[in-house]
Structure 1
Amino acid sequence: MLRLVVLISGGGSNLRALLEASEDAEFPARVVAIGADRDADGLAHAEEFGIPSFVVPFGAYPTREAWGEALVEQIRQWEADLVILSGFMRLLPPTAVHALAPNLLNTHPAYLPEFPGAHAVRDALAEGATQTGASVIVVDDGVDSGPIVVQERVPIHPGDSEAAVHDRIKLVERRLLVETVLGIANGDIDLRDLA
Structure 2
Amino acid sequence: MINLGILISGRGSNMESILNFLKENAIADVCPKIVISSKPEAEGLKKATKFGIPTKVVSNNLKGWDYDKEIVNVLQKYEVNPENGLVCLAGYMRLLSPEFVRTYKMRIMNIHPSLLPSFPGLNSQKKALDYGVKVTGCSVHFVDEGLDSGPIIAQKHVIVSDNDTYETLSDRILEQEHILYPYCVKLFSERRLLVEGRKVVIT
TM-score interval w.r.t. the shorter chain? over 0.9
Q: Summarize deviations over 1:101-144 as a string: whole Å, max 9, x none.
A: 11000000000000000111111111111211110000011110
Cross-structure match for 1:187: 191
How far, CA to CA, are the matches of 2:67 and 2:184 in structure 1? Answer: 28
Indicate yes or no: 2:134 matched with 1:133. Answer: no
Which sits farther off after the overlay, 16-25 or 100-109?
A: 16-25
Cross-structure match for 1:175: 179
Percentage identity across aligned positions?
33
Cross-structure match for 2:58: 56
Indicate yes or no: 2:120 matched with 1:116. Answer: yes
Moved over 4 A (4+): 191-195
How far, CA to CA, are the matches of 1:180 and 1:52 in structure 2? Answer: 23
Cross-structure match for 2:75: 75
Which amino acid counterpart does residue 35 of structure 2 have in structure 1? I
3-state secondary structure, aligned to 1:124? helix
On the 8 A contact 1:38/1:58 being kept in 2, the answer is no
Q: Summarize deviations over 1:64-97 as a string: whole Å, max 9, x none.
A: 2210111111112122210000111110111111
3-state secondary structure, aligned to 2:24? coil
Shift of 1:53: 0.5
Instruction: Give the number of equivalent residue pairs.
Output: 193
How far, CA to CA, are the matches of 2:127 and 2:32 in structure 1? Answer: 32
Shift of 1:58: 4.1
- What's the Cα RMSD here? 1.6
* Unaligned runs of at least 5 residues, structure 2: none
- Within 5 A, what are the aligned runs for 1:83-102? 83-102=87-106
How far, CA to CA, are the matches of 1:31 and 1:154 in structure 2? Answer: 30
How far, CA to CA, are the matches of 2:24 and 2:126 in structure 1? Answer: 36
* Unaligned runs of at least 5 residues, structure 1: none
Shift of 1:165: 1.0
Which amino acid counterpart does residue 56 of structure 1 have in structure 2? V
TM-score, length-normalised on structure 1?
A: 0.93
